[in-house]
């Protein structure tokens, strides 16, 4: 099986993100259209070899059974919404998610237009966002994002289902975060660094003993009961408009459990009342769970 390139791709300069819901009674046609997506990814990659294009389509939890009634990824479930007073991570389900990335904005745009043409009259566009590389791969809070991501072969091991009918597919979670920038910028640099557990200008990790129990990197570094690291591959990118900015957070993993545990650890206070203080400075506006099947799954199931 062949994974869609966007799951494990190295970071790019530009991205277009599209969220769709499928119009009623159009499911069979959408399944058929999705069968043509791997050929579209190939066409774009071959036509513009300098653009490092990578495509990804992922199918929403609620839409899966209508699109592919014959079989379902074993662990595909709804997005694990969080609510702790004002700190919330809502569930906003979508049927289809497209991540269209390239090092040329024009090619990402062409990809977007081709996806729109492929799905014309079958879907409703519910959300669109443009991501871009900010400085040295920094998030809009000014910190380098992605440093501790799996590297090399480990990316595929973490992100892709390893065996069975859904091999080379990936469980994908997407959240759009809008930062509370005015509030964040009032913090001293040291206070910002304590919130991540890393330094800001040179991106050096704090020693474990120096990390606050509320630090983002502390609360998202988890081990399972056997002592193994629970990892995800983050494919997030910043977005920004004239008066708002944030992060399109994207997690790809061979199981949804790692993301679910991390998100809960960020929001739900532990026995000492500690939670991830990053959640005080950014607001999740969307949250949806998907599965991104292999190219062969897409092209044969709808043919």
- The three-class DSSP label of residue 277 is helix
Nearer to ligand HEM, 87 or 216 (CB): 216
Figure out which of the listed residues 53, 166, 249, 291 binds ligand HEM, where binding follows CB under 6 A.
249
Figure out which of the listed residues 130, 170, 192, 282 binds ligand HEM, where binding follows CB under 6 A.
282
Figure out which of the listed residues 87, 155, 216, 277 binds ligand HEM, where binding follows CB under 6 A.
216
Nearer to ligand HEM, 128 or 148 (CB): 148
* Given 95, 145, 194, 276, the catalytic residue: 145
How far from chain centre, in Å, is Cα 174?
Answer: 4
Q: Does 31 bind ligand HEM (CB under 6 A)?
A: no
Kindly determine how many residues on this chain lie close enough to bind ligand HEM according to the rule CB under 6 A: 24
SS3 for 232-268 is: CEECCEEEECCCCEEEEEEEEECCCHHHHHHHHHHHC
Which residues, other chains included, contact 121 with Cβ-Cβ below 8 Å and sequence gap of 6+? 23, 26
Interaction with ligand HEM in 175-204: which residues (CB under 6 A)? 177, 196, 198
Q: Cα–Cα distances in Å, from 91 out to 4, 231, 256, 258? A: 25, 22, 15, 17
Figure out which of the listed residues 11, 90, 146, 150 binds ligand HEM, where binding follows CB under 6 A.
146
Q: Cα–Cα distances in Å, from 7 out to 58, 169, 251, 272? A: 10, 9, 9, 37
Tokens representing 203 are 């991106």
Could you identify the residue written with the tokens 């199981």? 255
The stretch near ligand HEM (CB under 6 A) out of 40-48, 54-62, 161-169, 247-255 is 247-255
Tokens representing 143 are 């910190």
Figure out which of the listed residues 10, 106, 128, 148 binds ligand HEM, where binding follows CB under 6 A.
148
Taking the complex as a whole, the smallest distance from the CB of residue 235 to ligand HEM amounts, in Å, to 11
**207 class by beta-carbon count within 10 Å (0-12 exposed, 13-18 middle, 19+ buried):** exposed
**Whether residue 106 lies in the annotated active site:** no
Taking the complex as a whole, the smallest distance from the CB of residue 161 to ligand HEM amounts, in Å, to 19
Residues with catalytic roles: 145
- The contact set with ligand HEM (CB under 6 A) reads 139, 141, 143-148, 177, 196, 198, 216-217, 220-221, 232, 247, 249, 251, 259, 262-263, 266, 282
């Amino acid at each position: 099986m062949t994974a869609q390139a966007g799951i494990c791709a190295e970071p790019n300069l530009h991205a277009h993100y599209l969220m769709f819901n499928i119009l009623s009674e159009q499911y069979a046609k959408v399944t058929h259209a999705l069968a043509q997506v791997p050929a579209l990814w190939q066409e774009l990659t071959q036509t513009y070899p300098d653009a490092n294009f990578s495509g990804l389509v992922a199918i929403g939890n609620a839409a899966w059974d209508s699109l592919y009634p014959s079989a379902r990824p074993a662990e595909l479930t709804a997005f694990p919404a969080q609510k702790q007073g004002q700190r919330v991570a809502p569930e906003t389900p979508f049927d289809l998610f497209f991540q269209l990335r390239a090092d040329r904005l024009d090619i990402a745009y062409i990809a977007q237009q081709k996806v729109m043409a492929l799905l014309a009259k079958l879907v409703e566009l519910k959300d669109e966002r443009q991501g871009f590389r900010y400085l040295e791969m920094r998030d809009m809070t000014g910190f380098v994002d992605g440093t501790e991501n799996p590297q090399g072969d480990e990316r595929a091991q973490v992100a892709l289902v390893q065996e069975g009918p859904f091999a080379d597919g990936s469980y994908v979670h997407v959240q759009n975060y809008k930062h509370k920038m005015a509030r964040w910028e009032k913090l001293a640099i040291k206070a910002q660094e304590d919130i991540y557990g890393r330094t800001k200008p040179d991106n050096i990790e704090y020693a474990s003993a120096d990390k606050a129990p509320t630090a983002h990197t502390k609360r998202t570094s988890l081990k399972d009961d056997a002592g193994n690291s629970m990892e995800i591959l983050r494919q997030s990118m910043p977005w920004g408009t004239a008066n708002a900015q944030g992060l399109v957070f994207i997690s790809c993993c061979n199981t949804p459990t790692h993301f679910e545990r991390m998100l809960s650890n960020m929001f739900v206070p532990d026995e000492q009342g500690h939670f991830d203080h990053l959640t005080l400075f950014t607001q999740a506006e969307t949250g949806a769970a998907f599965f991104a099947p292999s190219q062969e799954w897409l092209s044969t199931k709808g043919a």
